[in-house]
Chain A
Amino acid sequence: GAVVSQHPSRVICKSGTSVKIECRSLDFQATTMFWYRQFPKQSLMLMATSNEGSKATYEQGVEKDKFLINHASLTLSTLTVTSAHPEDSSFYICSARDLEGFTEAFFGQGTRLTVV
């Protein structure tokens, strides 16, 4: 099946620094990728929809200046957590659907971010 690769899988950073997370579709092209955040014992919360070649669409309550999304190609979207704080510590996960519009979404392996 289709594969989505997310990197890094785990990162620890100091408060105030920025962290970039990459999401790649390995064997299909994705005009749209989605970024989710999941806190312990909670569900995946959609943060934003990443659109290739245009601005991302952010969900209500998600700061676009804090969570920068770039979708420069049909196979790569990046999420940068700027000026990270301990409350940003979470599991971040991306998903992508292929151009054919098949409704199954494929997920990256997730990135566990710890801000100390």
Chain B
Amino acid sequence: RKEVEQDPGPFNVPEGATVAFNCTYSNSASQSFFWYRQDCRKEPKLLMSVYSSGNEDGRFTAQLNRASQYISLLIRDSKLSDSATYLCVAFYNQGGKLIFGQGTELSVKP
């Protein structure tokens, strides 16, 4: 079983739609979580950190449920420019490793 698992993609949605990505992690030692965005053939870039209390940044909302070992990302009013692969990432303080999920591809259509 992968340490970090995400919804299989791709997600094809129209502009303006709301889309939700889910992610689960298996190692309860994971201490921090992030969502990264990766455009085709580019390096990943940090989208947002994920906190137990939930956090929002504009159209993006991230949530962490430690009891269920579950992370989510909600994108509201999706834009064409949101098209990318979204990576769920777990961070371990010990060793400082980032473990990536397989990514979920999002394609926003006009």
Chain A interface (Cβ < 8 Å from any Cβ of B): 32, 34, 36, 42-46, 49, 57, 91, 93, 95, 97, 101, 103-105, 107-110, 112
Of the candidates A42, A95, A101, the one whose C-beta lies within 8 Å of that of B98 is A95
Q: Are B91 and A103 in contact (CB under 8 A)?
A: yes
Complex Cα spacing A104 to B87, Å? 14
A107 touches which of B32, B45, B102 (Cβ 8 Å): B45
- Give complex CA distance A95, B95 in Å: 14
Q: Which of B14-22, B36-44, B54-62 contacts A (4 or more CB under 8 A)?
A: B36-44
Assess the B98–A108 pair: CB atoms within 8 A.
no
* CB of B46 closer than 8 Å to a CB of A: yes
20 contacts between A and B (CB under 8 A): A32-B96, A34-B97, A43-B101, A43-B103, A44-B100, A46-B98, A46-B100, A49-B96, A95-B98, A101-B96, A103-B32, A103-B49, A103-B91, A104-B34, A105-B98, A107-B43, A107-B45, A109-B42, A109-B43, A112-B41
B13 within 8 A of A: no
Give min CB distance, B32 to chain A, whole Å. 5
Q: How big is chain B's contact interface, by range? A: 20 to 34
B34, B42, B44, B91: the one within 8 Å of A44 (CB): B44
Q: Which residues of B contact A57 (CB under 8 A)?
A: 95
Ordered nearest first, which 7 A-B pairs have the shortest CB separation?
A107-B43, A43-B102, A44-B100, A43-B100, A110-B43, A43-B103, A103-B32
Is B99 among interface residues, defined by CB-CB distance under 8 A? yes
* In contact, B44 and A107 (Cβ under 8 angstroms): yes
Q: B residues near A, CB below 8 A?
A: 32, 34, 41-46, 49, 87, 91, 95-103
CB distance from A82 to the nearest CB of B (A): 24
Interface contact A46-B99, CB-CB below 8 Å: yes
